[in-house]
Amino acid sequence: MAWLDANLVSVLNGVAIGCLLFILAIGLSLVFGMMDVLNLAHGAVFLVGAYAGWVVGGTDPSWGTFLLALAVALGIGLLVGGGMSLLTEPLRDRSHLDQALLTLGIALIVAELLSMAFGNDVQAADAPPGLDGTVSLFGNAYPTYRLALIGVGAVFAVGLWLLMSRTMIGSVIRATVADRDMVSAIGIAQHRVKLAVFGAGSALAAAAGVLGVPIYGARPGLDSTVLILALVVVVIGGLGSVRGALVGALVIGQIESLGRAVLADAASFLLFGALALVLVLRPRGLFAGAVR
Amino acid sequence: MSRAAKVVVPAVAWLALAGAPVFLAPYATTTLARMLVFGLLAASLALLVGVTGLPSLGHAAYFGAGAYAAGWFAQHVSAAAPYPLLVAAVTGGVVAAATGWVAVRARGVFFLVLTLAIGEIVRQVAETWEPVTGGSNGLYGIPATTLAGEPVVHPALLYWFVFAVFAVGFAVLWLVVRSPYGTALHGIHDNEPRMRALGYPTGLYKYGVFVIAGTVAGLAGGLLATQQRLVTPADLGFTTAALALLAVIIGGARSLWGACVGAGLVILVRDSLGPTLDGHGPLVLGVLFVLVVYLMPRGVAGIRPRRAS
Amino acid sequence: MTVSLTCHGLSRSFGALRAVDGVDLDVAPGGRHALIGPNGAGKSTLMHLVTGALRASDGSVRLGEEDITGMSVVQRARLGISQTMQQASLFPTMTVSDNVLLAVQRRHGRVGPWPRRQAAARRRVDTLLERIGLAGRGDTIEARLSHGERKQLELAVALACEPRLLLLDEPAAGMSPAETARLAEVIEELPAEVTVLFVEHDLDLVFRLATTVTVLHLGRVLLTGSPAAVRASAAVREAYLGTGRDEPLFAQRTEA
């Protein structure tokens, strides 16, 4: 109990980061699991959202500007995702390396354009009013915003679960992960599904960027840091699996938070260790969805 | 190319490289040396990507590990050739062995993602392990390599030293490609399940080539430390890995020589465009990647298109 | 040493579908055993269970005295099992000679990371190519071969492994009559110590080459016997044609 007391802040932090990672990684996982497209520009989209959040919201956002920033990010993300879907269309039958290089190229271009537009400084911003303070939790002060983030994550997870298990769209998504060609054989056009998934996934990534500004700010290099984390989440969780993305995100969130608090710089090894462990026991991730 | 050309062209190229300092100004000689270092890295990656079909995005990790090892060794133990280089090669091989066993268990895209993650994690270690790696500042003031007690500083001498080691490293790669093991690697690239049905333990073979490529990359890293006398985390970071991959692809993934030529082009472009772009070189890199992918109809590494499931 | 192949109660399910259901199969050492049956009978699945490409849900596979049920594809290949597949699975960017060399060098040479002259291996490759009928095509890239040539190469590679048990999955599929005749000769000329199990739809080939025939139907063994017994069996006729028809299933050709 004493250990928990000392480390509660880190643990809660880990859950908050995990929720953020979940929102970010779900798009990556579904695009990959459903359309077999590796999108290495996902981190760059996050960064676009982060800068959008900082520009629209400013360093001291009101609720109005914060929500506006969220809406703007969702819109931009949708557009970028749609664009990426079109750009990767010609590569449908090519190897994963080809896609990786294309999306990598796009990521580099976007990241550099952002760096040229906004400079190399770390841009920080506060949480909207009401969420920018701390709350007393078991004797420790805990940032309210991160608790709110956990709340958002929980609501999102439940909403997604309902979507996947109770709606038509959810069935189509699950079916496409299981057997993409079969789904197209029953008349659902693949490129439309891809457009929708790419768009939605990128919108979520951008939204995650806005939500992450009070924690991570916006700065060059954030895109690659975040991309690696999202990739590790997706690999651990299994492609195309919502459950997997949630579990993976929470695990990686803890490693990044508690791991770094306890082990400092050796936490990087922990990340690699977690990857290695999962892939040795379950080569396709914990909850691999595709039956190919 | 005719059979005669196949012998004559490489021979001329090797001779030209050997004689370069005689014809070139010191600055050009130094640039050429830099190209050779990067060329060796690219060639080792070509063995992995083009010959065996293992698309690695984290190969710079072993390059950087070798560079740091050689630099640290020269600073704290001895700068006498060839020891820093041997340490560099061994370090590259050991790090590759420690991380490769996980990577080769992964299939297809998982391998790609895993190597990306490994590269990033190794870079993070380099940035934070201050006592050994100097943190984000890197290792600087690395003493010059000494040959028979004399420091090698003259640009021409340094070039010939780099060239000699490059030749050794390249020879190792070339011999592997021409060996029965190399034929087997080619077979694994074309059809791994069939190789298993023939009785080849393909996992072991892939692990082996991963370690070999990592060792040669480490050697190239040692050359970097020797030539530049400065090692920073960027040297094992993602941009270096991406540049190396670009070099391999431009050169036609399966060719070791092609990778070296590609490396030369990449260095040339980077060094001439770099200053004008005010540090935004990755923009050009990004554009090049996009162009290369679209302009190569058969796919960038000659990797067979995925069959529709 | 000549080996037998024994399958006992071998089963494999895919979810609710029992593709192979309690199959008992005995291939005598040095035997020429054919596996026939209507489409969907489970023949290819059974072959995969023997080579190790699929894990058995139940039952056992023995090669001679050795239980190989739990062994991987690589381990079984090293024990001397070799196969050809329905869809020829070879090495498209490599030459015909190199395709065969891969098998020969694994069987005979040491596959080390330094160049060797491999003269003996290359001679074996040439001999094999000649026997199969691909002499002179050694330098052609595999991707440029015709369908029939590809099937021939597939067989050459399988033979290059010098197997103790050779599995052929529809070796004559898509071949012209001349190519099929050539194939039959090659199989007839195989050393007596090699045990052969083959799946075929070309029943003339089956009755020419096989000493024993097993008929599979819906994953189960319907009948095992001599070609004549199978030809005469009412149960087999029913499996292929259903109960409504009465004509002979395997028309008797006048012997050439």
* Cα B189 to the center of its chain, rounded Å: 20
Name the residue range of residue A97's domain. 2-281
Whether C152 and C209 map to the same domain: the answer is no
C-beta separation of C36 from C199 below 8 A: yes
| Domain annotation covers residue C180 | yes
Q: How many CB atoms sit inside 10 A of residue B271's CB?
A: 13
| Domain annotation covers residue A260 | yes
Q: CB neighbours of C19 closer than 8 A, spacing ≥ 6?
A: C12, C13, C42, C45, C219
Nearest to B228 by CA among B55, B13, B67: B67
C-beta separation of B238 from B39 below 8 A: no
The tokens for A95 are 């190897």
Name the neighbours of B, counting chains with at least 3 Cβ pairs within 8 A: A, C
At C84, give phi and psi (nearest 5°): -120, 150
Distance from CA of B63 to the nearest CA of A (A): 19
Q: State how many domains chain A has.
A: 1
Whether C130 and C21 map to the same domain: the answer is no
Nearest to C73 among B181, B197, B208 (CB): B197
Nearest to C219 by CA among C40, C86, C59: C40
Distance from CA of C221 to the nearest CA of B (A): 27
End-to-end CA distance of chain B: 38
Indicate the pLDDT class of residue A289, thresholds 50, 70 and 90.
low
Q: Which residues of A touch B118 (CB under 8 A)?
A: 272
Residue A28 and residue A10: Cα distance in Å, rounded?
A: 26
Residue C76 and residue C178: Cα distance in Å, rounded?
A: 33
CATH number at residue C48: 3.40.50.300
C-beta separation of A66 from A77 below 8 A: no
Residue B241 and residue B268: Cα distance in Å, rounded?
A: 17
Tokens 């009948």 sit on residue? C223
| Domain annotation covers residue A99 | yes
| Domain annotation covers residue A290 | no
Contact C89 B196 (CB under 8 A): no
Residue B54 and residue B214: Cα distance in Å, rounded?
A: 13
Whether C175 and C125 map to the same domain: the answer is no
Residue B181 and residue B177: Cα distance in Å, rounded?
A: 7
User: Which residue, of C117, C139, C162, is where some domain finishes?
Assistant: C162
Nearest to B106 among A36, A109, A283 (CB): A283
- What is the value of ipTM here, to two decimals? 0.88
User: Which residue, of C103, C133, C162, is where some domain finishes?
Assistant: C162
Whether C19 and C146 map to the same domain: the answer is no
Contact C91 B176 (CB under 8 A): no
Contact B304 A94 (CB under 8 A): no
Look at residue C230 in the predicted model and tell me its pLDDT.
86
Contact A108 B108 (CB under 8 A): no
Asked if the C-beta of C19 comes within 8 angstroms of chain B's C-beta atoms, the answer is no
| Domain annotation covers residue A216 | yes
Q: Which of C50, C96, C98, C111 to mutate to test the interface with B (most CBs of B within 10 A)?
A: C111
Q: Which residues of B touch A284 (CB under 8 A)?
A: 110
Name the residue range of residue C98's domain. 90-162
Distance from CA of B195 to the nearest CA of C (A): 8
Nearest to C113 among B181, B190, B191 (CB): B181
User: CA nearest C158 in B: which residue?
Assistant: B198
User: Does C251 score more than 60 pLDDT?
Assistant: no
Look at residue C255 in the predicted model and tell me its pLDDT.
44
Residue B126 and residue B58: Cα distance in Å, rounded?
A: 14
| Domain annotation covers residue A169 | yes
Q: How many CB atoms sit inside 10 A of residue A242's CB?
A: 26
**Cα-Cα-Cα-Cα dihedral sign, residues C38, C44, C50, C55:** negative
Contact B196 C73 (CB under 8 A): yes
At C92, give phi and psi (nearest 5°): -65, -30
Asked if the C-beta of C93 comes within 8 angstroms of chain B's C-beta atoms, the answer is yes
Look at residue A214 in the predicted model and tell me its pLDDT.
86
Look at residue B300 in the predicted model and tell me its pLDDT.
58
Look at residue A172 in the predicted model and tell me its pLDDT.
81
Look at residue B110 in the predicted model and tell me its pLDDT.
81
Look at residue B307 in the predicted model and tell me its pLDDT.
38
Residue B124 and residue B138: Cα distance in Å, rounded?
A: 12
Asked if the C-beta of B303 comes within 8 angstroms of chain C's C-beta atoms, the answer is no
Look at residue C252 in the predicted model and tell me its pLDDT.
53
Nearest to A106 among B286, B299, B303 (CB): B286
Distance from CA of A10 to the nearest CA of B (A): 21
Nearest to C161 among B184, B198, B304 (CB): B198
Whether C170 and C254 map to the same domain: the answer is yes
Contact B117 A232 (CB under 8 A): yes
Residue B185 and residue B50: Cα distance in Å, rounded?
A: 10
* Cα B105 to the center of its chain, rounded Å: 22
| Domain annotation covers residue C85 | no
Whether C217 and C124 map to the same domain: the answer is no
Asked if the C-beta of B245 comes within 8 angstroms of chain A's C-beta atoms, the answer is yes
Asked if the C-beta of B121 comes within 8 angstroms of chain A's C-beta atoms, the answer is yes
Burial of C124 (0-12, 13-18, 19+ CB in 10 A): buried
Contact B180 C111 (CB under 8 A): yes
Residue C92 and residue C99: Cα distance in Å, rounded?
A: 9
The CATH architecture annotation of domain B23-295 reads Orthogonal Bundle (1.10)
C-beta separation of B39 from B204 below 8 A: no
User: Does C169 score more than 50 pLDDT?
Assistant: yes
Q: Does chain C touch chain A (at least 3 C-beta pairs within 8 Å)? A: no
Whether C178 and C242 map to the same domain: the answer is yes
Q: How many CB atoms sit inside 10 A of residue A113's CB?
A: 15
User: Does A59 score more than 80 pLDDT?
Assistant: no
Q: Which of B190, B204, B304 to mutate to test the interface with C (most CBs of C within 10 A)?
A: B190
Nearest to A227 by CA among A56, A92, A95, A45: A45
Q: Comparing B35 with A35, which gets the higher pLDDT?
A: B35
Residue boundaries of the structural domains of chain B: 23-295
The tokens for B220 are 């190239």
Would you tell me which residues 208-267 of chain B have a C-beta closer than 8 angstroms to some C-beta of chain C? 208, 212
Distance from CA of A221 to the nearest CA of B (A): 11
User: Does A5 score more than 80 pLDDT?
Assistant: no
Q: Which residues of C touch B52 (CB under 8 A)?
A: none
C-beta separation of A151 from A16 below 8 A: no
**Residue range A97-119, pLDDT digits in tens:** 788 889 989 998 999 899 888 88
Q: Which amino acid is present at B241?
A: A
Name the neighbours of C, counting chains with at least 3 Cβ pairs within 8 A: B
Quote the DSSP letter at residue A209. H
**Residue range C98-147, pLDDT digits in tens:** 999 999 999 887 788 888 888 888 999 999 999 888 888 889 999 999 88
Q: What average pLDDT does this structure show over A222-250?
A: 87
Number of H helices, E strands in chain B: 12, 4
The tokens for A16 are 């908050």
Q: CB neighbours of A237 closer than 8 A, spacing ≥ 6?
A: A25, A29, A243, A244, A245, A246, A247, A248, A249, A285, A286, A287
Look at residue B306 in the predicted model and tell me its pLDDT.
43
Q: Which of B101, B110, B122, B127 to mutate to test the interface with A (most CBs of A within 10 A)?
A: B110
Q: In sequence order, which ranges of chain A are alpha helices (DSSP H)?
A: 2-35, 42-57, 63-88, 96-118, 144-166, 168-178, 180-185, 190-216, 222-237, 242-254, 260-263, 267-281
Nearest to C21 by CA among C233, C166, C222, C167: C222
Quote the DSSP letter at residue A186. T
- pTM of the shown model: 0.87
User: Which residue, of C108, C132, C162, is where some domain finishes?
Assistant: C162
Asked if the C-beta of B106 comes within 8 angstroms of chain A's C-beta atoms, the answer is yes
Nearest to B293 among A98, A116, A279 (CB): A98
CATH number at residue A165: 1.10.3470
Distance from CA of A258 to the nearest CA of B (A): 17
Look at residue A82 in the predicted model and tell me its pLDDT.
92
Q: How many CB atoms sit inside 10 A of residue A155's CB?
A: 11
The tokens for B149 are 């007690």
Q: Which residues of C touch B181 (CB under 8 A)?
A: 111-113
C-beta separation of A289 from A238 below 8 A: yes
| Domain annotation covers residue C64 | yes
Q: How many CB atoms sit inside 10 A of residue B94's CB?
A: 18
Q: State how many domains chain C has.
A: 2
Residue C14 and residue C44: Cα distance in Å, rounded?
A: 14
User: Does A181 score more than 90 pLDDT?
Assistant: no
Contact B199 C77 (CB under 8 A): yes
C-beta separation of C102 from B198 below 8 A: yes
User: Does A291 score more than 60 pLDDT?
Assistant: no
Q: Residues in chain B with pLDDT < 70?
A: 1, 274, 277-279, 297-309
Whether C187 and C140 map to the same domain: the answer is no
Asked if the C-beta of B112 comes within 8 angstroms of chain A's C-beta atoms, the answer is yes
Q: CB neighbours of B262 closer than 8 A, spacing ≥ 6?
A: B42, B246, B247, B248, B249, B250, B251
Contact C77 B190 (CB under 8 A): no
Contact C74 B212 (CB under 8 A): no
Q: Which residues of B touch A184 (CB under 8 A)?
A: none
Residue A250 and residue A260: Cα distance in Å, rounded?
A: 15
